Structure 1
Amino acid sequence: MATATSIPVGKAEPKDTKTMYNILFIMSLCHLLNDSLQSVVPAMFPILEKSMGLSFTQLGLIAFSLNMVASVLQPVVGWYTDKRPRPYALPLGLTSSMLGILGLALAPNYWMILISVIFIGFGSAVFHPEGSRVTHMAAGKKRGLAQSIYQVGGNSGQALAPVFTALILVPFGQFGGIWFTIVAFIAVLFLIYIARWYSKRLKAQAGEIKRNKAVKNGLGPHAKSIKTAILLLILLVFARSWYGSAISNFYTFYAIKTYDVTIAHSQVFIFIYLFMGAVGTLLGGPLADRFGRRNMIFLSLIGAAPLTLLLPFVGPTVAYILLALTGLILMSSFSVTVVYAQELIPGKIGTMSGLIVGLAFGMGAIGSVALGALIDLMGIQTTMIAVSVLPIFGLLTLLLPSDQQLKEWSGAELN
């Protein structure tokens, strides 16, 4: 492992290559808490559908409001903080989410729900690019592993949504969401600590900003290829996010109708998918460090395709197995896609993280509305069959630049 004193003059590597596991684990925990708050929204869908008589299209619009705000603002926040880092934006963002959760628990009507989820979306938009920047700072040379540790917290938080529904929201209803203000407050306290570390780290890494700008300027001859690669990444995120949106937001209704199970029982299907997705996220980073980013992205989508195509035609027992394997394989590329994008343009850590993760939210938001409308129009089973083909888009990964090409373009070591 290189140290600050052993790096030759003129190299573009950061001075400190030590992996700060304590910071990574705290960020992963905060990511879990942040995404747990977001998960309360879709977890409330069955409750709101009954208590307020909402249609699938209205439920899709709630998810759209939440995810679209987070999606649109994430790359904006990332772009701004690449230029002017704001360590204390992290706890301020979670404070916004805390206010949103409070409003959601007390909302008397549909419009108040929409306003509340916008507050939650804003908090998420601030948290994700800044959280990814802190993770990059703490990663050392283990970028894939670090991003997986960070992202697995978020996936674990999302996986808790069906647990919230079964244990809290079913017995206590909409007002049960007020308990999650405690979760938000705990996250704010952790992020105040992180913000202090972040501030000190910025001073220590001031010279790296200049090096990143030099690397960015060296990418000029490859600008067209980089733009094409970003477009391909957008299409891949689209495929993964739309399929994930179909499962996390609407598979519960599919299970209730097709398998004749209760709301609480239907949440088991979602939990299995999301939990195994979190496991896949954790494994994907270190596997990509060893076998390559592009290879991992390709295998995660194409490997999941046969499972998603089979899922709409099986019984409940086999569905448990297929959902577990699909979550494990499909989500193994989530953190890898972020790292790959960051290595396309090394000097824009926040912007690229905000773009890719924000796209995941945004595509999921558009997918929620479109899928809700399709279900109202065509029925839940036909819609699930239609979305099962999305992972086949993974073939587009073969058109992405290889890891070796990224290394040559940036002039920096990929690990």
Structure 2
Amino acid sequence: MADSTVPQPTIGTPSPQSAQAVVQTQYLVILSIAVCHFINDVMQSVLSASYPLLHDEFSLSFTQIGLMSLAFMGTASVLQPLVGTITDRYPFAQSLTLGMGSTMLGLLLLANAPSYGFLLMGASLIGIGSAVFHPEASRVARAAAGRKFGTAQSFFQVGGNAGHAAGPLLAAFIVVPSGRASVAWFALLALVGMAILSQVGRWHANHRRTKKAVAPARAHGLPKRTVVITITLLAFLVFTKNAYIASISSYYTFFLIERFELSTQEAQMMLFIFLAASAAGVIFGGPIGDKIGTRAVIWVSILGVLPFTLALPYANLFWTGVLTVFIGLILSSAFPAIVVFAQELVPGRVGLIAGVFFGLSFGIGGIAAAALGLVADATSIEFVYHLCAFLPALGILAAFLPRLGQDPA
């Protein structure tokens, strides 16, 4: 009599259906994190996009505006490595939800602040929210990435860049016409984000519990001294990128208003174009890095914008828009590659590395914004862009980065 027993699948070998379901869930998690990154960065972008309005309402100097950026970015910078280190050792599934809640409180305070001191407090709360969000969200994206770490990092970061791009646009059409109190409306987005992140936190906690084995980290074979030097080089490259980005995000609207006599709304639209190009650049940075190596992407994305930044201070209005599109598109592709490169250098410390580099990104941006505000008050907004034009020349430092396993020889 024929054996009619149905063969059972071997334990540990997932069926094609279950494997497909896992992949679909991972894509959904990455999409959810990207959407929440969009929400988080829309809310923090509303802060900088509201600077012209706050400048007029509170009679702020450029130095005071720079200090607001420092309060936001400096808080995020100091706390992100600490948050990353703590969550590496003591994972907390709902930390993302709490971080989004802090950002919501910061927005509500910003909308109702009676004085400049309360504006600084609101900016700091938004910074705390970002400090909690970025390291843990980056860890979740990597956990759901499979082996396509660059692609996952790009999709995660493009949500943030899209949020940065949408913030000035929303500010132009909502905050500027309706006044500062309308900033509170964006707190509704935070509630949506908190609901999504609550579910993402549950997935991540379950992912950690049910994972039977962790794939061993790929050893790069580099001595500790080389790793330290390389991390330092990457930090200088982050400085180059974010100092220039800070000059655009904090003062580009003032540059356009002063030089080309644009209205605030027209200047915000120009800022949106730059930030939209930056979001597009992030999409390409990670996948290209997965194919050709992150080292090559870092090299081209920073040094490659130098001709455009040098030309920008001399361009008319049309070419200013064109040049900033190329600057945003190329320069923004660097950060996903830098984060993945650093995580490969220090395997097993995903939260710490994400915290350090997102923290550097915020901290450098805040310090640069404050310093450039002093320069603008002492000289002019136009001089700021003459000065910053040479920053991408530091991209030559990428030549000293070692080749890792994912980089072609």
TM-score tier after normalising by the smaller chain length: over 0.9
Q: Could you tell me which residue of structure 2 aligns to residue 91 of structure 1?
A: 97
How far 1:129 sits from its partner (Å)? 0.3
Q: Is the 8 A contact 2:309 2:327 kept in 1?
A: yes
Q: What secondary structure is seen at the aligned counterpart in 1 of 2:322?
A: helix
Matched, 1:304 2:305: yes
Residue pair 1:17, 1:140 contacting (<8 A) in 2 also: no
Q: Is 2:373 the counterpart of 1:367?
A: no
Q: Distance in 1 between matches of 2:285 and 2:206?
A: 30
Question: Which TM-score applies when normalising by structure 1?
Answer: 0.91
Are 1:25 and 1:150, in contact at CA under 8 Å, matched by a contact in 2?
A: yes
Is the alpha carbon distance of 1:222 and 1:18 closer, same or farther for their aligned partners in structure 2, counting shifts above 3 Å? farther
Q: Deviations over 1:152-204 (max 9, x none)?
A: 00001011122122101111111110101101111000000101101101112
Deviations 1:218-253 (A, max 9, x none): 778610000000000110000000000001110110
SS where residue 123 of structure 1 aligns? Answer: helix
Secondary structure (helix, strand or coil) at the match of 1:140 reads: coil
Residue number among 104, 113, 122 corresponding to 1:107 in the alignment:
113
Letter paired with 1:341? A
Partner in structure 2 of residue 276 of structure 1: 277
Contact kept in structure 1, 2:293 and 2:407, CA below 8 Å: no
Q: Which residue of 1 aligns with 2:4?
A: none
Note the 1:134-213 alignment, pairs <5 A. Answer: 134-205=140-211, 207-208=213-214, 211=216
Query: Residue in 1 aligned with 2:295?
Result: 294
Q: Give the RMSD, CA atoms, in angstroms.
A: 2.0
Q: Structure 2 counterpart of 1:340, which letter?
A: F
C-alpha distance 221-141 of structure 1, shift in aligned 2 (>3 A): closer
Q: Which residue is 1:327 aligned to?
A: 328
Task: Describe the shift of the 1:91–1:327 C-alpha distance in structure 2 as closer, same or farther (beyond 3 A).
Answer: same
Tell me the secondary structure at the aligned position of residue 53 of structure 1. coil
Decide whether the 8 Å contact of 1:96 with 1:119 is kept in 2.
Answer: yes
Q: Could you list the per-position Cα deviations for residues 31-85 of structure 1 after superposition, in whole angstroms to 9, with x for gaps in the alignment?
A: 0001111111101100010010000000000000001111111111111111111
Q: CA deviation at 1:407?
A: 10
Q: CA deviation at 1:379?
A: 0.8
Question: Does the 8 A contact of 1:288 with 1:296 survive in 2?
Answer: yes
Aligned twin of 1:351: 352
- Measure, in 2, the Cα distance between the counterparts of 1:48 and 1:60: 12
Equivalent residue for 2:3? none
Structure-2 separation of matches of 1:52 and 1:174:
11
User: Which structure has the larger Rg over C-alpha atoms?
Assistant: 2
1:375-410: CA deviations, max 9, x gaps?
0011111111000111111100010111338899xx
Describe the superposition over 1:307-350 as per-residue Cα deviations: whole angstroms up to 9, x where unpaired. 01101100000111111111001101121111111111111001
The 3-state SS of whatever aligns with 2:332 is helix
Give the Cα separation in 1 of the matches to 2:22 and 2:277: 31
Q: Does the 8 Å contact 2:292/2:408 carry over to 1?
A: no
Corresponding residue for residue 52 of structure 2: 46
Distance, in Å, in 2 between the alignment partners of 1:111 and 1:289 is 45
TM-score by length of 2: 0.92
Structure 1 runs of 4+ off > 2 angstroms? 3-6, 16-19, 204-209, 218-221, 403-408
User: In the alignment, what sits opposite 1:234?
Assistant: 235
Q: Residue 390 of structure 2 aligns with which residue?
A: 389
CA shift, 1:205, in A, is 3.1
Amino acid at match of 1:398: A
Identity %: 39
Aligned to 1:9: none
SS where residue 223 of structure 2 aligns? helix
The runs of 5 or more residues in structure 1 that have no matched partner are 7-15, 409-415
CA displacement, residues 360-382 of structure 1 (integer Å, 9 cap, x when unaligned): 11100000100000000111111
Alignment length, in residue pairs?
392
5+ residue gaps, structure 2, are 1-10, 15-20
Alignment equivalent of 2:72, drawn from 49, 66, 74: 66
Give the structure 2 partner of residue 10 of structure 1: none
Judged with a 3 Å threshold, the aligned counterparts in structure 2 of structure 1 residues 329 and 17 are, in CA distance, closer, same or farther, namely farther
Is 1:21 equivalent to 2:27 in the alignment? Answer: yes
* Cα displacement (A) at 1:18: 4.6
2:154 aligned partner, one-letter code? S
